Structure 1
Amino acid sequence: MEHQPLSQIELTPEDNVKSASVALAKGQLPRAVFHLSFALSVDPQNPNWLNLLQQIIATSNDPIALVPLKQDISFALLAVRAYILSYCGYYNEGFYWLSQVLQILAEPIYLPWIADWLSLPESTNSLTRETRTQLLQTLLTKFPGDRIENESDREHLDRIVFALSQLRQVDPEDDFLAFSHIALLRKLGYLEEALELAQNNYETLPCWKTAVSLALVYRTRGEVDPAIDAYQDALKYNPNDLTIFLDMADLFCDAGRFKEGIYCYQKILDREPEHPGAKPYWLYYQFFQQQDIVWKDNLQTYIEEHPDNETAIQLFNHLEILLSPYLGYLPEPTDATIDILYACEENPEKGYLESLKLTFLESPSSRLVLQLYIQEKFALESIPIEIEEIQHPDPRLPHTSVNYLLWRYEGVDPYPNIDPPREEIADAIASLAMQPYSLNSWCQIARQMAISWGQEHLNSLLGVMVHPPQHPPEMAIWTWLHRLQVAAALAIAYLDTGWENSLRKQVLFDLARGPMDWTTEAAIIALMQIALEDEAAAIDILSLFRELLENVPSSGHCPYLYGLIYCSLYLPFIDDEFRQKLEQEKDFLASQ
């Protein structure tokens, strides 16, 4: 069968239809079918083109002979041969050849034909069990995973599932038919119906296949323990089935039950020590279980020994992201004030924090945390604070004129320069800040929030950065405020689209250029994400990051320097000179 991509066919679908019509008028029926097959491979449901094909079939004395089987037949022609066979009533042969076509195509473009043919009683009744099994195996292969998202595919598969329910009444003994019916129901999201059928199937005919079918439905429903019970039942019928242990391991680990998952992977490795699916995951989840970086190194060694194992490479890359600051985790603030509060938490017997003496001026966010902490722990409104030196450039001042200023100073004392947020906005940002951090997942949630809110809620997003809601008991105040600020900045990043004259550019650039603060870092993280999504924006953002690096105070702690270095290194298009400077700064910070 010829697999040449249709993009290599020079004629457009419309040109091919015209050529087919001309050939039909001249009685050149094989040529007409040849041209029409390529048009239909682009739009198999086009009613006019299907009508033309039916005219060709009606004109021919031997329609099936119009498409002889040859070694180099194209998939488009073979699909039309299948159509002709079915149109002439040879449904079993038609399904057989269309299944062959579907197996080699990346997309199931002829799914509408299958749905149409299966809706005909005479079609389903003529299928042999062998052909039906081949067709169903092909469909399940084309739609892996637990859910089918494409709406067009779902529409056709809905019709196919209805036909399968009718077929099961005709042939209730076909266990693969039942398995496929339940699998498609599950993938289409009809979980109640799928569960009922799977339970009935297992009760009626308890075996490996019906137990696995039931386990898959429970897994899709998110019911871990019932799924595991069903998998355990399947093992009774086939104790040597390593795929069941693999499914159980994945299920446990996806639920965060790493110890049980690792045990299942180990059961596989006891039989096949170098199992290409189990070994990489066993190494990967050992890291999560033990939180020891050595397992990342072990996975890297495994990849060096098995360079073709794509699963291992993907898992290693995912670990790289998880272990990368600002991508996979959010580093904690490290101001001297926060170190003092850490010490207070570790040694509560020392009593009150009565005063504070700092060598340099610190960020206003750390001052806010200090105020909230002493109010909560000691019922004090304030304590005396002595600052020995103001850095240069003055960290209280923006680098340039800005429209959005979060903090104002009276002497060395910072105060919020924006009103508190609306309660519903603060609650939504707080719910995001409570989620386990990964930049990708936070951005997805922040984008949805920002799109639903619109630009009119900008002031509330800025307000939550300096007027935080009450922190959850399990999270330190400084961790809470930092996460709120990053969550709010990410929402601001999606308040509008475009770049040059966008609101998000103006606001985030102003925050980055504002007084030295944790909110500077929050803006840097949000801008880094924009740069990763928008190459045009990346040039401006890289220029801003250079500017910020040049204006870091010459002495004292800069709360956003660590974030600025890492987020700059994640940007595309960094020249070698700037990258070298960033690496030097990173090495210097690591040595402190």
Structure 2
Amino acid sequence: MAEDDRALPAAEELALARLALDSGDLEHAAGHVAAALTQAPTLPEVHETLARVGAAGGDRAVELFPLHHHAFVGNVVARAHLLAAAGRPAEGLDLLVAATGHAPGTDWAGVPWVTAPELAERLFPDRTARILMQVCAAVPDPVPRAGRAALTPYLSLARNAVAVHPEHALLLGAASALARRLGEVALAIRWAARGVRAEPSKLGEVWLGYAYRSGGRTREALAALGRAVEHDPDDLAVYADIAGTLADHGRLDEALEWIDRALARDPSFDCAVHTAHRLRHQRDGDVAHLVALADFVRDHPDDTHEHGDLAECCRSRPWLGQVTPAGGAVVEALRRAVVDDLGGVGAAVRLDAPAPPSAMRTVEVAAPGLRIEVADVGDPDPREPRRATTRQLWRYDGTTAVPAVPAPSPEAAERVRQVAHPAWPHPPAAYDAAVGLATLDLADLLGLLVHPPQAPSTPLGRVLGGQDPSLWVRCVQVWACLGILHHRTDEPWTASTRRRVLLDLVWGVEDWVTEAALFALVTAAWVDPAVRPDVAGVVAERLADAAAVARVRAVPIAVSLAHLALATPALDPETAALAVSLTRPPAVDRPSALRRLWRVVGTLFRR
């Protein structure tokens, strides 16, 4: 279904429609009426003009609003109203529901013929039930409060139909499902319970269970879902629903018992597999469950419907679902300087050793008035790579870090602006999202790491630029490294350019780039089981090195590296234990400003 790019005001469209009508040009008149419907679907003047077009078109009036493969939504709605006027309201409702699925927030059905009690009398109750179920399938569950008004005409249809057919079980259940989605929980329970009394069935009990669950009546919900299983022991989706309900109330052992029962019947049933891995991760926090779920998703691309279990488990978790914010005195001073909008003038930070070069460079660009004083270099020297590498991103003039590679091209800078984000659903999704960087030159990708472009003029870019430039720099580095992971993917992994470059970055000077490159390697392990032993070995060596250095001097990236290790597939138990120990010491609580920033970022991401 398509939109109209013209987007003229409804009044102008109607004026043009009337002119076309007066000249006998019905096709142009119909086009303008359809466009007016998209602007004002309930405006009486629009419907009056549509009626004139219908009268002028006679028996072929409906054909003035064709439905092609990518039908214009205005044509769909106009055709629906004309079908209803011609005595075919069920067909008209089917089209209105299709428009609702295309744009659920628009009041397509808010017209008298839909809400009139007479309509329910003319429709067979089975047909009304199917129409209500189509509405339910087209909208979120539950519908956000702001979007409910546009759907209330369908609820009026449900009320009218139930009044005419008070004991029709299928109609009562479908009406209950719609009422529940629109926040009318008491009504949903009443209708579903009446439907089960009229005709006990699996579907009726499921609708009743969902209604009880929405009303917080967990015991009754579980009882109803249990009766649904008795009606049909082979419907494993109900087992997953019971398990999810139990888990939501902290009853994980019982929930897993239900999932195991489902998997015993069908080990590949998608709902049970997704729920099982989510609940097992919820129980013990082992990332292996999430990796196994990602493998299942990759190996079963034709699942019956979309699942959000993997994204739910990774959301807001370090590196699984988001960039880990940088810490340290330099970054905290930078955030204060940016929020105060003084550029750090007159402020100074004294360090015992050089901060990561990316942090120092970000301060130079975002808060040039902030003075950084380094008391000592420390040992091992943080300005030196941790291993011999063939690529140096930074060179030092004393304790001042200077980029050692050229700036990226404007095209590369713009490309990364379009994809860089501090959050992602899960590592495989981040990998897929970075495919747009695959065609960039390697020199450009390396240049992005030390010459990050300014944040884009988007809501997210303005938030990051105005509150935490360090987070934007880290975003660019993460996505540039994911771009490197897409570089020459035809090369076998072990001898590949992408692996060699990322290893150079991992073992370079201690920097935010180290974290970004290691995340790219961890992501490779998520999407390709064959590389997991290699990546797990690299992660283990890099974390062991950081832990060894941390015993003699501060390693600002150590905790983040530990979180990366805990996100790594097939990590050995000893390294996992080391990672847990590095994340265990109480960290300084994030400032309230940073917590607010992450709430804003999360809101923008969910949009």
Q: Give the TM bin, normalised by the shorter chain.
A: 0.5 to 0.7
Q: Match for residue 133 of structure 1?
A: 129
Report the Cα distance in structure 1 between the residues aligned to 2:212 and 2:33, rounded to whole angstroms.
46
| 1:144 equivalenced with 2:101 (yes/no) | no
Report the Cα distance in structure 2 between the residues aligned to 1:119 and 1:590, rounded to whole angstroms.
69
Report the Cα distance in structure 2 between the residues aligned to 1:110 and 1:321, rounded to whole angstroms.
32
Amino acid across the alignment from 1:256: G
Alignment of 1:535-574 (within 5 A): 551=374, 554=377, 571-574=474-477
Is the contact between residue 120 and residue 161 of structure 2 (CA under 8 Å) also seen in structure 1? yes
Amino acid across the alignment from 2:224: A
- Tell me the SS of whatever aligns to 1:94: helix
> Which residue of the other structure, out of 231, 246, 267, is the alignment partner of 2:240?
246
Is the contact between residue 109 and residue 151 of structure 2 (CA under 8 Å) also seen in structure 1? no
Closer/same/farther in 2, CA of residues 26 and 150 from structure 1, 3 Å limit: farther
Closer/same/farther in 2, CA of residues 515 and 74 from structure 1, 3 Å limit: closer
Instruction: Provide the aligned length of Structure 1 versus Structure 2.
Output: 399
1:229 Cα shift?
Answer: 1.4
Q: Match for residue 33 of structure 1?
A: 30
1:84 Cα shift?
Answer: 1.8
CA offset digits 1:326-378 (Å, max 9, x no partner): 969999x9xxxxxxxxxxxxxxxxxxxxxxxxxxxxxxxxxxxxxxxxxxxxx
Report the Cα distance in structure 2 between the residues aligned to 1:299 and 1:251, rounded to whole angstroms.
20
1:176 Cα shift?
Answer: 2.1
Closer/same/farther in 2, CA of residues 18 and 325 from structure 1, 3 Å limit: closer
Q: Match for residue 94 of structure 1?
A: 92
Is the contact between residue 115 and residue 157 of structure 1 (CA under 8 Å) also seen in structure 2? no
Is the contact between residue 13 and residue 38 of structure 1 (CA under 8 Å) also seen in structure 2? yes
Alignment of 1:172-321 (within 5 A): 172-302=166-296, 305-306=299-300, 315=310, 318-319=313-314, 321=316
Closer/same/farther in 2, CA of residues 279 and 318 from structure 1, 3 Å limit: same
1:313 Cα shift?
Answer: 8.7
Consecutive unaligned residues of structure 2, counting only runs of 5 or more, are 381-469, 482-503, 516-541, 552-607
1:37 Cα shift?
Answer: 1.2
Report the Cα distance in structure 2 between the residues aligned to 1:589 and 1:133, rounded to whole angstroms.
63
Report the Cα distance in structure 2 between the residues aligned to 1:123 and 1:165, rounded to whole angstroms.
11
Closer/same/farther in 2, CA of residues 232 and 30 from structure 1, 3 Å limit: same
> Which residue of the other structure, out of 69, 73, 76, is the alignment partner of 2:74?
76
1:98 Cα shift?
Answer: 3.4
Consecutive unaligned residues of structure 1, counting only runs of 5 or more, are 334-394, 405-492, 494-498, 532-537, 558-566
Alignment of 1:472-483 (within 5 A): none
CA offset digits 1:131-181 (Å, max 9, x no partner): 323321221111231x22153x42243343234223212112322221122
Alignment of 1:356-505 (within 5 A): 502-503=339-340
What fraction of aligned residue pairs are identical, expressed as a percent? Answer: 19
RMSD of aligned Cα (Å): 4.9
1:248 Cα shift?
Answer: 1.2
Closer/same/farther in 2, CA of residues 197 and 85 from structure 1, 3 Å limit: closer
Report the Cα distance in structure 2 between the residues aligned to 1:22 and 1:183, rounded to whole angstroms.
45
1:202 Cα shift?
Answer: 3.1
Is the contact between residue 248 and residue 264 of structure 1 (CA under 8 Å) also seen in structure 2? yes
Q: Match for residue 354 of structure 1?
A: none
1:540 Cα shift?
Answer: 5.8
Alignment of 1:338-349 (within 5 A): none
Is the contact between residue 218 and residue 227 of structure 1 (CA under 8 Å) also seen in structure 2? yes
Q: TM-score, with normalisation over the residues of structure 2?
A: 0.54
> Which residue of the other structure, out of 532, 537, 547, is the alignment partner of 1:590?
547
1:244 Cα shift?
Answer: 0.5
> Which residue of the other structure, out of 110, 116, 123, is the alignment partner of 1:120?
116
CA offset digits 1:423-476 (Å, max 9, x no partner): xxxxxxxxxxxxxxxxxxxxxxxxxxxxxxxxxxxxxxxxxxxxxxxxxxxxxx
Report the Cα distance in structure 2 between the residues aligned to 1:267 and 1:541, rounded to whole angstroms.
60
Q: Match for residue 48 of structure 1?
A: 45
1:219 Cα shift?
Answer: 1.6
Report the Cα distance in structure 1 between the residues aligned to 2:246 and 2:348, rounded to whole angstroms.
46
Tell me which moved more, 120-129 or 288-297: 288-297
- Tell me the SS of whatever aligns to 1:573: helix
Amino acid across the alignment from 1:165: R
Is the contact between residue 85 and residue 93 of structure 1 (CA under 8 Å) also seen in structure 2? yes
Report the Cα distance in structure 2 between the residues aligned to 1:189 and 1:300, rounded to whole angstroms.
34
Closer/same/farther in 2, CA of residues 544 and 303 from structure 1, 3 Å limit: farther
1:209 Cα shift?
Answer: 2.5
Report the Cα distance in structure 2 between the residues aligned to 1:194 and 1:239, rounded to whole angstroms.
25
Amino acid across the alignment from 1:572: C
Is the contact between residue 209 and residue 234 of structure 1 (CA under 8 Å) also seen in structure 2? yes
Is the contact between residue 96 and residue 134 of structure 1 (CA under 8 Å) also seen in structure 2? no
CA offset digits 1:471-521 (Å, max 9, x no partner): xxxxxxxxxxxxxxxxxxxxxx9xxxxx99744x669x799966889xxx9
Report the Cα distance in structure 1 between the residues aligned to 2:372 and 2:547, rounded to whole angstroms.
17
1:261 Cα shift?
Answer: 2.1
Report the Cα distance in structure 2 between the residues aligned to 1:217 and 1:184, rounded to whole angstroms.
10
1:31 Cα shift?
Answer: 3.3
1:243 Cα shift?
Answer: 1.3
Is the contact between residue 17 and residue 29 of structure 2 (CA under 8 Å) also seen in structure 1? yes
Report the Cα distance in structure 2 between the residues aligned to 1:548 and 1:248, rounded to whole angstroms.
59
Is the contact between residue 209 and residue 221 of structure 2 (CA under 8 Å) also seen in structure 1? yes
Report the Cα distance in structure 1 between the residues aligned to 2:23 and 2:208, rounded to whole angstroms.
58
Amino acid across the alignment from 1:85: L
Is the contact between residue 80 and residue 96 of structure 2 (CA under 8 Å) also seen in structure 1? yes
- Tell me the SS of whatever aligns to 2:269: coil
Is the contact between residue 13 and residue 32 of structure 2 (CA under 8 Å) also seen in structure 1? yes
CA offset digits 1:32-89 (Å, max 9, x no partner): 1233113313331233322322333355554745637676665532421221232355
> Which residue of the other structure, out of 10, 18, 21, is the alignment partner of 2:18?
21
Is the contact between residue 161 and residue 184 of structure 1 (CA under 8 Å) also seen in structure 2? yes
Is the contact between residue 129 and residue 175 of structure 2 (CA under 8 Å) also seen in structure 1? no
Report the Cα distance in structure 2 between the residues aligned to 1:250 and 1:176, rounded to whole angstroms.
25
